[in-house]
Amino acid sequence: MFSARSTVFAACAALLMALAPIVVSVAAPEPIPEIRLEHGRFQPGELVVAADNPFQVRVTNHGPAAIEFESFELHRERVVQPGETITVYMPPLRAGTYRFFDDFNHATPQGAIVAK
């Protein structure tokens, strides 16, 4: 049986199928977490990420002097100039706590990335 109703239904189904890939492609990407060096400390001091998943983290230096974002446990050492934002690419981490610090100023409290 072919009715006007089923024709409309078929047209709608075809349109939905055509739009489906577009809907998928505009899905919001995971926001990249940010660590800020501000007022002499890292904020947040503890950043929680999902374990066993690669991720990125942005590090922004809002202070007046260059910093060195460093972590022995994460094998990272990156200079960040005042006003600069860097992106650090991280491999999947096992659950645990990974400390980081400013190697140019050891008076700066340490921070940590916590994989859960």
77 binds Cu ion (CB under 5 A): yes
34 binds Cu ion (CB under 5 A): no
CB 52 to Cu ion: min, Å: 27
- Write out the two tokens for 58: 């942005």
CB 23 to Cu ion: min, Å: 45
The string over 61-84, giving b where at least 16 C-beta atoms fall within 10 Å of a residue's C-beta and e elsewhere, is bebeeebebbbeebebeeebeeee
Consecutive H or E run containing 10: helix 4-25
Q: Which stretch binds Cu ion (CB under 5 A): 2-10, 26-34, 39-47, 61-69?
A: 61-69
Backbone angles phi and psi of 22, in degrees to 5: -65, -45
User: 73, 77, 65: which is closest to 105 by C-alpha?
Assistant: 65
- Which CB, 34 or 68, lies closer to Cu ion? 68
β-partners of residue 89 are 56
Q: Which stretch binds Cu ion (CB under 5 A): 50-58, 77-85, 87-95, 107-115?
A: 77-85
CB 103 to Cu ion: min, Å: 3
Positions touching Cu ion (CB under 5 A) are 68, 70, 77, 103
